[in-house]
Chains A and B, each alone.
Chain A
Amino acid sequence: MSPQSEKYQNRIELLQGTLDLLILQTLMWGAQHGYGISQVIRAQSGDVLQVDTGSLYPALHRLERQKWIKSEWRLTDNNQRAKFYQLTSAGKKRLGEERSRWNQMSDAIGAILANRPEEV
């Protein structure tokens, strides 16, 4: 098990709840399969965010159950069969909410962190 953890040591574990936001945001650009989603998140975060498959697939299936995304089997550009996920209109609304919540949160945290002690 130890080589695996070495490989991940420079990556940040995702905050609880942010994975949903990232998945929905990724799907804004069009339908995508699970592998594709994890690749996009990794690439767009500059290799910092690693989505664990043990979190990704449960999250995809949960979002689908909540009717925020829907899925269908399609062929990829490389002619491979893959299950593609796509935002529903409810999912788009949800993304808006999640995003504004995230902004509020990061503003709040940012404000706290910006508040340094005054120099004497």
Chain B
Amino acid sequence: MFSREDKDSDLHEEIQSHLNMATRDRLQAGQSAPEAHYDATREFGNIGQVEEATREMWAGASLEVLLQDLTYGFRTMMRSPGFSTVAILTLALGIAANTTMFSIVNGVLLNPLPFPNSNRIVLMFQDKANFPKGSISYPNFQDWQRENRSFESMAAYRWSDGSITGVGEPESVKAQRVTSSFFPILGVNPVMGRIFTADEDRPGSEPVVLISEGLWKRKFNADPKVIGKSLIVGGEGRTIIGVVPASFDLKIQNFRTADLYVPLAQESDNRFFQRDAFWGTNAIALLKPGVTAEQAEQDMKRVNADLAVAYPDVNSDLKARISPLKEEIVGEIRPVLWILLGAVAFVLLIGCVNIANLLLARSTSRRREMAIRVALGAGQARIVRQLLTESLLLAVLGGGIGLLLAKWGTAAALAAVPTSVPRAQGIALDWRVLLFTCLVSVAAALLFGLVPALRSSAVNVGSTLKDTSRAVFAGKSRMQSLLVAGEMAMALVLLIGAGLMIRTVGYLLGTNPGFDPRNVVHFGIALPREQAQLPVEAIRAEFRKIHSQIERIPGVQSVSLASGAYPMESDNEATFWAEGQPHAEHESDFPMTLEYDVEPEYFQVMRISLLRGRLINATDIEHSAQVGVIDEGFAKKYFPGENPIGKTVRLLDYDALPKTWIPVTVVGVVGHVSQFGLAQDFKEQLQAQLYRPYMQASDPLIKNLAGAFRVYVRSQSSVSAESFFQTIRSQLLANNAQLIVSDNQSEQEVVGRSIARQRFAVGLLGVFAGFALLLASVGIYGVLSYLVGQRTQEIGVRMALGAKRTHVLRMVMSDGARMLLAGVAAGFIAAMGITRLLDSLLFGVRPTDPITFVFVATVLLSVALLACYIPARRAMRVDPMVALRCE
């Protein structure tokens, strides 16, 4: 085989011999030697072009050309290391940011859920006036299950008490009650043993439990003979029948991946089976193949109409809400992620514009090079290919570095606000992300490389080689100015978006949640089984003992036991009939209020302000008159224009059979608490809040509370929430080793979590907008510097003719300002349209907030003008003599 060099010289020789023979023929025909040589050469044509065209016929020629282009491109790159570094770094940052965002979008939104039939799985709620996603009563669920024609299967679930005793130390773990159909719908199979049978999912059947793979390993040391062993859950002995795989992961309303699963209907409390008992029960269901969610909704309307006729008192307005599983899991975060992906695409676009501008500037200085190459036989296509190869080389290097950065960036982004993104554990750099990065890199190369390449290749050989002046510049500078204005506009849109989000988060953080979360921790306690089975008087005594034990711990300022609703964490409602309001026809038509069962000190712990009357006090105990404190929302809605103090509110008591109304006297009015989180509370319909004395809870409720209640504690000074809790916990356990004290929360973190989505968005948008500002400033700086460089001679002439330095400064600055103002104007118009997409994330600020717009534009203009000032000053210092001598 011949080497490339051999073939090249062979071809060269072949052409030389052709010329020699042609010359010889002409000599023989009588021409003079120079004439013969000249004619032969002219007849032959462009030797370079012929060689080039012939070489392309050789085997592997296209690869050779590519290699040649690459080598050449690499050499060009190394010749201007400054430009190459800036271009590659710009691309690397842009591509890294895009890859990071895309890997999040891919992992969270695009990847299918890890369940075999996930696109047919829906969530079901009972749609009520105050709760579009309300809980379903068990008898209604059973009727839905039986009467529907749209679902293959339906499963209900709710929270469960997860205190474990009997094996090792007593502890409290996450637990769920689920029907026997639950795991089959999700396609989850046990790693060992079996799941519940339908027979086991009935009241009074043999008590069984499924445990998680994690608990099996931790608590049972992965004992292969764990099936059949017994475990005491919530004080009840249960037989372990199966182990649920660790890979099972699901987080939806009223369901968290748990360590224990017990059959839903193995419920010792008979009240659960009443048609008007809504115990935080929701359902999942598997649509029959080909049935849409809308069809299923129609079907459920028919079922519910029948149930309304059968049970008019509680089901008069029964509605089912059906929502796809994926929507439930990622629906909230979806717009945020798409907005962020859009934003980050802008950043890359700005980066590409910068590189295109640099390439355009460089193409002027490379015009001679291109002209020479054309003269030597390169076609236009060949030159475009060469220049695009150079662009691709930059993009590939940028993409490679970007990919490495993205690996780190993805981890950083998720670590920043881990709880706000569902399915975060599924985010990884998989093949789709890699494909995305490749496509983005190539697209970027085309984007920034094509226009300069087409411009460069269209050189006029003759004029370029003859021309020494730089007069041809005007047309290119217009293109560059346009590009700069464009990137200014994009940067402005991003900055405005980030500005609006910052204002939103500032507004939310400044919003008074109605309580003071600083220095407050709360945690759960479960009494040991023997104590929980004591008479209610003894349980109340135990509650009081725990209260006073905590109270005496140094550093504790105030303490309150609590149940019912917990602000920003979980809600609990009561049906009521306020004095002076009409008595509704059906039970389901009565209004509802949030109910908090608290001790007197709760208002000190949470620093909830008293507006009228009095707070709950130490005299409001089990046998004293039933009292309640309402919030201003309750007062405004149900006692408009009246003094609510002394009025009676009747609460529906589900525990009594037949149901009765418990009269409660309103003794005070307090401020409203943001029950549903800073960003969500005002959107919820349920605004009424009612506080009742903890000790006045009904006897059955007290018995329930023994198994799980919470304690809110305020510390005297700001200590770490964790160590404060550990102090309390060890003190409590020192007094009673059988207590389960767990699940501590810092109230401040709870409040922070309620705006996690906004904080996630503001963090990333802020970073992206910062990139955009930086890139756009570098862009305008680069173009102006270039312009000044090109006009040095002109400036020199002007100054020689008497122009003042300040004139020169003004001239250059006004060039820059013109691009800037055009960009800002375009940016304003674009932002008006685009910020509307942010609407769902914004609070306390309109998408077209003039303050944000003006402030952001000012920041952008200041930074950009500074970027203009540097080259302008350089222009001002031009020495006319030097400038004129230059050429």
Contact = CB atoms under 8 A, between A and B. Distances in A.
Interface of A: 4, 33-36, 52-55, 57-62, 65, 76, 78, 80-83
A57 B58 contact: no
Interface of B: 10-11, 13-15, 17-18, 20-22, 24, 42, 44-46, 49-51, 53-54, 56-59
Nearest to B28: A78
A68 to B, nearest CB: 13
B583 to A, nearest CB: 96
B17 A57 contact: no
B56 A58 contact: yes
A36 to B, nearest CB: 8
A62 B20 CA distance: 24
Contacts, number: 63
Contact of A83 (B17, B44, B53): B17
A57 B54 contact: yes
Contact of A65 (B42, B50, B59): B59
Contact of A58 (B14, B42, B44, B53): B53
Q: Which of A35, A52, A60, A83 has the most CB of B within 10 A?
A: A35
Nearest to B56: A58
A20 B445 CA distance: 39
Given A80-B17, A80-B20, A4 B42 contact: yes
Contacts of A78: 21, 24
B9 to A, nearest CB: 12
Contact of B18 (A4, A52, A53, A59): A53
Residue with the highest number of chain B CB atoms closer than 10 Å, among A52, A55, A58, A65: A58
Given A35-B18, A82-B17, A83-B14, A62 B50 contact: no
Nearest to A76: B21
State the 6 A-B residue pairs at the shortest beta-carbon distance, nearest first: A61-B57, A62-B57, A57-B54, A35-B18, A35-B21, A83-B14
Q: Is the interface of A mostly helix, strand, loop or mixed?
A: helix
B17 A81 contact: yes
B54 A58 contact: yes
A52 B53 CA distance: 12
B45 A57 contact: no
Contacts of B56: 58
Which residue among B21, B44, B45, B51 has the maximum number of chain A CB atoms within 10 Å of its CB? B21
B58 A54 contact: no
B20 A61 contact: no
B58 A65 contact: yes
A52 B46 CA distance: 11
Given A33-B17, A34-B14, A57 B42 contact: no
Given A62-B57, A80-B24, A52 B17 contact: no
19 contacts: A4-B42, A34-B18, A35-B17, A35-B22, A53-B15, A53-B18, A53-B45, A54-B49, A57-B11, A57-B14, A57-B51, A57-B53, A57-B54, A58-B57, A65-B58, A78-B24, A80-B17, A80-B24, A82-B17
B8 to A, nearest CB: 12
A11 to B, nearest CB: 12
A80 B18 CA distance: 10
A54 B18 contact: no
A78 B11 CA distance: 21
B361 to A, nearest CB: 32
A53 B42 CA distance: 11
Contacts of A61: 11, 54, 57-58
B259 to A, nearest CB: 71
A81 B14 CA distance: 9
A78 B58 CA distance: 30
A62 B53 CA distance: 11
A53 B50 contact: yes
Contacts of A52: 45
Contacts of A80: 17, 20-21, 24
Nearest to A59: B57
B17 A54 contact: no
B514 to A, nearest CB: 84
A74 to B, nearest CB: 11
A35 B19 CA distance: 8
Nearest to B14: A83
A55 B15 CA distance: 13
Contacts of A57: 11, 14-15, 50-51, 53-54
A32 to B, nearest CB: 11
B45 A54 contact: yes
A4 B11 CA distance: 25
B64 to A, nearest CB: 13
A78 B20 CA distance: 11
B21 A82 contact: yes
A80 B23 CA distance: 12
A65 B56 CA distance: 12
B269 to A, nearest CB: 88
A94 B775 CA distance: 61
A59 B57 CA distance: 8
B57 A65 contact: yes
A33 B56 CA distance: 20
Contacts of B24: 78, 80
A53 B44 contact: yes
Contacts of B44: 53
Contacts of B58: 61, 65
B778 to A, nearest CB: 45
Nearest to B24: A78
Nearest to A34: B18
| Residue among A33, A59, A80, A82 with max Cβ neighbours from chain B (10 Å) | A82
Contacts of B22: 35
A34 B869 CA distance: 64
Contacts of A36: 21
Given A53-B50, A58-B54, A33 B18 contact: yes
A83 B57 CA distance: 17
Contact of B46 (A54, A65, A82): A54
Contacts of A35: 17-18, 21-22
Nearest to B51: A57
A58 B56 CA distance: 8
A80 to B, nearest CB: 6
A35 B14 CA distance: 9
A36 B14 CA distance: 12
A51 B45 CA distance: 12
A73 to B, nearest CB: 8
B28 to A, nearest CB: 9
A4 B49 CA distance: 16
